[in-house]
Structures are given as structure tokens and as C-alpha cells.
Amino acid sequence: MKTDFAPVTTWVFDLDNTLYPPSMRLFDQIEVKMTDWVMAALRVDRARADHLRAHYWQTYGTTLAGLMTEHGVDPGPYLTDVHDIDFSILTPEPALADAIAALPGRKIIYTNACVPYAEKVVAARGLGGLFDAIYGVEDAAFHPKPEARAFAAVFARDGLDPTRAAMFEDDARNLLVPHALGMRTVHVAPEPAPAPHIHHHSNDLAGFLGQLLRQSK
């Protein structure tokens, strides 16, 4: 593992269910908000709205992308509303903070959510001040991962060299483009999803980074 990450100078982290474990269930709140929003915007019942939310996520990468493509939805009010949630269920993880702080090079976040929301998650997890930049869907003209143009926009803005970068992500499909660009890919999820575009899997990000750092000494 040490040699695989030796060239890395930029560490790219997804946010939801990556920088906090799915067991904290923060995204459950967002999914309810999304369904409520779809119900109100499209004037459909909850069952239909819940179906559309999942369908748009599967088809377009995010529910928002589906709403924008098929219904011309303004992303601003949507992003503000669905991310107005309770962050108190998130707890700091000192081991993760220490591991991220010890990584050599730049550390950035790239999320399909918006930057103000990401900043609140980072603060609640005790990770404030550790990242050189935070990029959200707004930085990719609201095009989401896994679209290649979304990665291209964010990576160009950051100026990173993908061949010297690693990507940590809970959604396996969002690692396809990073792999194609020459990045080291790490699937952070409770269960592995073996695939040629996934180099490593971990269900414990702090533990994975800690092991990597110990091997590098």
C-alpha cells in the first residue's frame, strides 16, 4: 500500500458517508428533505416523490441533477432547503483529524453537496482547518459526480495533477473517472464493491489513513 500512494501530493475526500460513517445517519435527514421538496415542487404524493428522488440519483448522479434536467429547477433554493438539518448527531473523531493532518501535501474535499453544508459537517466532525479547499456541486456548474465534466471543472479549479492524487469516496461509481484519470482510488464503505477501478477498500477511514502513515515512516 505504501508504494501505491508514494507519488500522491493531493488527497481528495468526498464528504457524506466518507468523512463520517453511514451509521451516524446524517444523510437520512437529507433524503427526507429531498422527498419533501420533490413533493412540493412537482405536486406528487410521497411515494411518487420518493421514487423520483431515487430514480434521479441513479440516473443523473444526484436528485438535483434530475430535477434540473427534467424540470428546470433552480438549484439555489433546493440546496439551501435540503441541507437545513440537525448536525448535532455528528461527533468529532480525533483519530481521523490527526490522520488527515499528518498526510503530506494538499487535502481537499469534493462533494456533490454545497460548500456551506460541507463546512458545517467539517466543523461538527472536528476537522476544521485541515483542508486546503472545499469544492461543492456549485463549483462544477451544478454538474455532479460521476460526470467527467464535473471532475474536470473541479480539478482544473484546484490545479491538481490527477496522476499524483488519491480519491476517497463512498459511492463506487464516483471512482470511475478518477481511476481513468490516473488517481489512486479508495472506496470507503461498510462493504467492498470489487471492481477494476477500485484500488483499495476500507470501512474505517481513520484506520486506513493511520496504517498508510505508519507504513510511510
What is the SS3 assignment for 75? helix
Q: What is the pLDDT of residue 61?
A: 83
Domains of the chain as residue ranges with CATH: 2-21+89-216 (3.40.50.1000), 26-82 (1.10.150.450)
Answer whether residue 116 shows pLDDT above 90. Answer: yes
- Do 130 and 100 touch, CB atoms closer than 8 A? yes
Average pLDDT over residues 100-123: 97
> pLDDT tens-digit profile of 139-165?
999 999 999 999 999 999 999 999 999
Q: What is the pLDDT of residue 65?
A: 87
**How does residue 175 score in pLDDT terms, banded at 50, 70 and 90?**
very high
The Cα–Cα gap between 64 and 78 comes to 8
Amino acid at 209: L
- Cell numbers for 85, please give them: 438539518
Residues 6+ apart with CB under 8 A from 2: 212, 215, 216
Mean per-residue pLDDT of the chain: 94
Residues 6+ apart with CB under 8 A from 38: 44, 49, 50, 52, 53, 63, 67
pTM of the model: 0.93
Answer whether residue 1 shows pLDDT above 80. Answer: no
